């Protein structure tokens, strides 16, 4: 089983490259039924407490596209990692139902530290379960 970074690299997902495009905003202040454009939030608040922050549609679209692409790539990396985990561990001795229960427990215990930690827990629990099965046979 490879480390999770291997699967990320395989699909072109660079976890360290975290540079989402910035969303640019304009501000308006509303006072006495009139609209006053402002360059900054502070400037708008000097005019009125009733202000609105408006996202630039082009920068917002670029920002949203970045996150959508990032989520898709990470999803592909996870699918490959999970499929390899299944192919390595599911067998006649360790069926899919048992795999799912052990994975769920490993995920609960390790996911805060990442997929590699989930694998460490999974492998540990797998060893425990298979040892118990072997004892039961004897």
**Hey, where are the domains in the chain?**
1-88, 90-138
| CB neighbour burial string for 57-69, b if at least 16 within 10 angstroms, e if fewer | eeeeeebeeeeee
Q: Which residue has the tokens 């229960």?
A: 101
Token match 């192919």: residue? 87
How crowded is the C-beta side of 5, counted as CA atoms within 13 Å? 3
**CA atoms of 65 and 44, how far apart (whole Å):** 29
- Each residue of 40-65: pLDDT tens digit? 999 999 999 999 999 999 999 999 99
> Tens digits of per-residue pLDDT, 87-103?
999 998 899 999 999 99
Overall average pLDDT of the 11-36 stretch: 95
pTM over 0.85, yes/no: no
């Amino acid at each position: 089983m490879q480390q999770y970074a291997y699967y990320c690299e395989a699909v072109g997902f660079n976890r360290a490259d975290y540079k989402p495009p910035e969303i640019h905003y304009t501000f308006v202040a509303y006072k006495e039924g009139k609209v006053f454009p402002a360059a900054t939030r502070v400037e708008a608040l000097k005019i009125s407490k009733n202000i609105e922050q408006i996202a630039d549609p082009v920068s917002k679209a670029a920002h949203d596209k970045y996150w959508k692409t990032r989520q898709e790539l990470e999803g592909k990396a996870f699918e490959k990692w999970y499929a390899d985990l299944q192919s390595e561990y599911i067998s006649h001795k360790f069926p899919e139902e048992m795999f799912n229960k052990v994975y769920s427990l490993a995920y609960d215990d390790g996911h805060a530290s990442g997929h590699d930690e989930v694998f460490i827990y999974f492998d540990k629990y797998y060893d425990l379960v298979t040892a118990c099965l072997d004892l039961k046979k004897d």
